[in-house]
């Protein structure tokens, strides 16, 4: 999907752009690798092995082992993979909701616009974490609660972006001209509006991942998310105090740093994409 966006750009590639592209592709590569590694990992890799507990990092266990002898690297990778997949699910569902509502809001007239803005305000009116807790509470906590919660609470920002973009294009001269030429609404939407909205939309989508991942970790930390034996980053980090007090600092610092890296990778993709799509307004 991202490649297509890039290829529709007609400007010649300058050196800096190539570099940006390299960063994007490398970041995507790492993220995909982590997600796949977690998906393909057999459960035995992070199974308990009580004879092997509390080991310091070594070549056999790069991140060491925890108090039940589980390999911390395997737990971390599996957990990050889960986080990325939850992020993808959240992004997928949010994007559908956001596109539909954002577009409706922009094209269906003032009444609908007001209604949808009101809806956005309502979802954003409850602090995010509290809303996640409520949803998770309703669904009896666990993985389902986290996934549903994250998926249906992250769309408002994206919907706002879509709405603003559609709004600005809608009144643009070429759209007006196209309308005068008798083109159908659908034609205008597909040919003129969509290509304009998609770049901003994709950047917004990518930047949604870090939010989703950090929220997943937070809600799990609070005890509303995944069960303590699940390989989830939030679970590992919620065990931090145990590891830090008993001197096994690497069991929390290494997974924490790994999560940080994943979030930074998403940030990097988002920012660099923005540079490519919109070199003038992008932050340096």
Residue 153 · residue 135 · CB < 8 Å: yes
Q: Which residue has the tokens 């303590």?
A: 228
**Residues 3, 4, 9: CA angle, nearest 5 degrees:** 100
Helix, strand or coil, per DSSP, at residue 71: strand
Minimum CB separation of residue 36 from another protein in Å reads 22
Minimum CB separation of residue 199 from another protein in Å reads 21
Minimum CB separation of residue 210 from another protein in Å reads 6
* Cβ closest to another protein, residue 198 vs residue 275: 275
Binding site for another protein (CB under 8 A): 47-48, 50-51, 53-54, 67-68, 110, 113, 118, 121-122, 124-131, 133-142, 210, 214, 217-218, 221-224, 227-229, 237, 239-242, 244-247, 252, 256, 259-260, 263-264, 267, 283
* Cβ closest to another protein, residue 6 vs residue 152: 152
User: Which one-letter DSSP state was computed for residue 140?
Assistant: T
* Cβ closest to another protein, residue 98 vs residue 258: 258
Bridge partners for 71 per DSSP: 65
Minimum CB separation of residue 127 from another protein in Å reads 4
Q: Report residue 56: phi and psi, to 5°.
A: -75, 160
Residue 243 · residue 256 · CB < 8 Å: no
Minimum CB separation of residue 39 from another protein in Å reads 18
* Cβ closest to another protein, residue 198 vs residue 263: 263
User: Which one-letter DSSP state was computed for residue 55?
Assistant: P
* Cβ closest to another protein, residue 6 vs residue 139: 139
* Interatomic CA distance for residues 252 and 144, integer angstroms: 26
Q: Tell which residue, 183, 176, 189, has the closest CA to residue 102.
A: 189
* Cβ closest to another protein, residue 40 vs residue 186: 40
Minimum CB separation of residue 218 from another protein in Å reads 6
* Interatomic CA distance for residues 54 and 115, integer angstroms: 56
């Amino acid at each position: 999907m991202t490649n297509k966006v890039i290829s529709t750009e007609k400007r010649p590639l300058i050196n800096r752009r190539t570099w940006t592209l390299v960063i994007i592709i490398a970041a995507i590569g790492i993220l995909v690798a982590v997600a796949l590694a977690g998906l393909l990992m057999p459960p035995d890799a992070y199974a308990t092995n009580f004879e092997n507990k509390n080991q310091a990092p070594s070549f056999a266990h790069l991140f060491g082992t925890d108090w039940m002898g589980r390999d911390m690297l395997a737990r971390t990778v599996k957990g990050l993979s889960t986080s990325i997949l939850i992020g993808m699910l959240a992004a997928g569902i949010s994007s559908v909701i956001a596109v539909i509502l954002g577009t409706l809001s922009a094209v269906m007239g003032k009444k609908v616009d007001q209604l949808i803005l009101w809806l956005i305000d309502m979802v954003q009116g409850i602090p995010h974490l509290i809303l996640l807790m409520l949803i998770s509470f309703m669904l009896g906590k666990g993985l389902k609660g986290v996934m549903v919660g994250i998926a249906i609470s992250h769309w408002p920002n994206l919907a706002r972006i879509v709405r603003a973009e559609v709004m600005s294009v809608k009144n643009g001269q070429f759209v007006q001209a196209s309308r005068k030429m008798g083109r159908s609404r659908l034609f205008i939407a597909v040919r003129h509006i969509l290509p304009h909205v998609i770049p901003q939309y994709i950047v917004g989508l990518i930047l949604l991942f870090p939010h989703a991942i950090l929220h997943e970790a937070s809600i799990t930390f609070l005890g509303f998310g995944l069960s303590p034996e699940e390989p989830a980053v939030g679970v590992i980090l919620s065990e931090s105090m145990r590891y830090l007090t008993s001197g096994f600092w690497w069991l929390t610092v290494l997974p924490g740093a790994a999560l940080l890296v994943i979030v930074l990778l998403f940030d990097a993709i988002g920012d660099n994409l923005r540079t490519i799509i919109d070199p003038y307004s992008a932050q340096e």
